[in-house]
Amino acid sequence: MKKLLMALTTLLVLVSCNNNNTGKGNDTDKAAAPKNPYDTVDLSFVKLPEGFKISVYAMVPNARSITRSPEGVLYVGNRDEDKVYAVVDKNKDGVADTVYTIASGLNMPNGVAFKDGALYVAEVNRILRFDDIENHLDNPPAYKVVYDKYPDKTHHGWKFIAFGPDGKLYVPVGAPCNICNEKDSIFASITRINPDGTGLEIFAHGVRNTVGFAWHPETKELWFTDNGRDMMGDDVPFCELNYAPKKGMHFGYPFYHQGDIPDPEFGKGHKADEFVAPALKVGPHAAPLGMRFYTGSQFPATYKNQIFIAEHGSWNRTDPYGYQVKVAYLDGNKVTKYEDFATGFLTADKKVLGRPVDIEVNPDGSIFVSDDMNGYIYKIEYKK
Separation CA 24–CA 20 (nearest Å): 8
Tally Cβ neighbours within 10 Å of residue 146: 20
Q: Report the share of the chain in percent with pLDDT over 90.
A: 89
Span 319-367, pLDDT tens digits: 999 999 999 999 999 999 999 999 999 999 999 999 999 999 999 999 9
Q: What share of the chain is helix, strand, coil (3-state, %, to 5)?
A: 5, 35, 55
Distance CA 172, CA 221 (A): 16
How far apart, in Å, are the Cα atoms of 124 and each of 42, 153, 226?
35, 7, 18
**Containing H/E element for 4?**
helix 2-16
Q: Are strands 307-311 and 324-331 parallel, antiparallel or unpaired?
A: antiparallel
Any idea which architecture 2-382 has in CATH? 6 Propeller (2.120)
pLDDT tens across 59-100, in order? 999 999 999 999 999 999 999 999 999 999 999 999 999 999
pLDDT band with cut points at 50, 70 and 90 for residue 384: confident
In terms of C-beta density within 10 A (0-12 exposed, 13-18 middle, 19 or more buried), how is residue 180 classed?
A: middle
d(CA 262, CA 179): 12
Percent of the chain residues past pLDDT 70, beyond the cut: 91
pLDDT for 20: 36
Q: What is each CA distance from 64 to 75, 115, 124, in whole angstroms? A: 10, 19, 15
Per-residue pLDDT, 4: 46
> For the segment 213-261, what is each residue's pLDDT rounded down to a tens digit?
999 999 999 999 999 999 999 999 999 999 999 999 999 999 999 999 9
pTM of the shown model: 0.91
Computed over every residue of the chain, the mean pLDDT equals 92
- DSSP lists the bridge partners of residue 280 as 241
Q: Indicate the pLDDT class of residue 23, thresholds 50, 70 and 90.
A: very low
| pLDDT of 72 | 95
Tell me the torsion sign for CA atoms 202, 205, 207, 209: positive
pLDDT of residue 233: 97
Q: Among 21-25, 121-125, 243-247, whose mean pLDDT is lowest?
A: 21-25
The whole-angstrom separation of Cα 80 and Cα 65 is: 12
Residue 61's nearest CA partner among 104, 30, 113 is: 104
CB within 8 A of 142, min separation 6: which ones? 23
Residue 8 host element (H or E)? helix 2-16
Question: Dihedral, CA atoms, 112, 114, 118, 122, nearest 10 degrees?
Answer: -20
CA distances 341 to 26, 241, 286, Å, are 40, 17, 15
Classify strands 201-205 and 249-250 as parallel, antiparallel or unpaired. Answer: parallel
Name the DSSP class of 364. T
Q: What is the phi/psi pair of residue 215, to 5°?
A: -110, 140
State which amino acid sits at residue 320.
Answer: P
